[in-house]
Amino acid sequence: MRMTERDAGRRALLGASRGVVKAVSSRARQTKLQHLDIEALAGERHEGAEHMEPYGFTARPHAGAEAVVVYPTGNRSHPIIIAVADRQYRLQGLEDGEIALYDDIGQKVHLTRSGIVISGSAITIEGDLTVNGAVTITGASLTHNGKNVGASHAHSGVTPGTGTTGAPV
């Protein structure tokens, strides 16, 4: 069967659309990709559509997020989601060339023009940390091995003169 110009145009029009995420599917699949339930144009629903995420990045979008859906060869029975965005949480005010990784509770890693800013209620580093350069701490305390070694710490074994003190208490 030969495809006419009209058929090709129709397939091109049906090849992509916008959609709204309705749910994240938790069904196990052999593909190991995340699957989303979406509603596309005119109420067209797709359950378990594959979400192709960029290598090294993953996210679990909220219901209501918007998706870009492609349909290879115009076949609407096999949608593939290539992007998901959520206007509600998107960071604004970035300068030209800046990038950021962020979530819905305000945590972010922001590569600014003047340096990298990591914001969150708590930051945990697992593994070794090497700092080449000065470290400035602007907080109430610095704890090392369970001992406060910040500005308001005390030492044991203080002896007047040229002696040294004991370890922090």
* Residues 93-116: tens digit of each pLDDT: 999 999 999 999 999 999 999 999
Helix (H, G, I), strand (E, B) or coil at 161: coil
Q: The domain containing residue 49 runs over which residues?
A: 5-85
Same-domain status, 80 and 134: no
Q: Per the domain annotation, does 63 fall within a domain?
A: yes
- How far apart are the C-alpha atoms of 66 and 23, rounded to whole Å? 12
What CATH number is given to the structural domain containing 30?
A: 2.40.50
> Is the residue at 106 inside a domain?
yes
Question: How many domains does the chain fold into?
Answer: 2
At 36-95, the pLDDT tens digits run 999 998 889 999 999 999 999 999 999 999 999 999 888 888 999 999 999 999 999 999
Pair 22, 77 in one domain? yes
From 51, 85, 119, give the residue that closes a domain.
85
Assess whether 50 and 120 both reside in one domain.
no
Q: Choose the weakest-confidence range: 6-15, 63-72, 137-146.
A: 6-15
Q: What's the longest Cα–Cα distance across the chain?
A: 99
Q: Three-state SS for 13?
A: helix
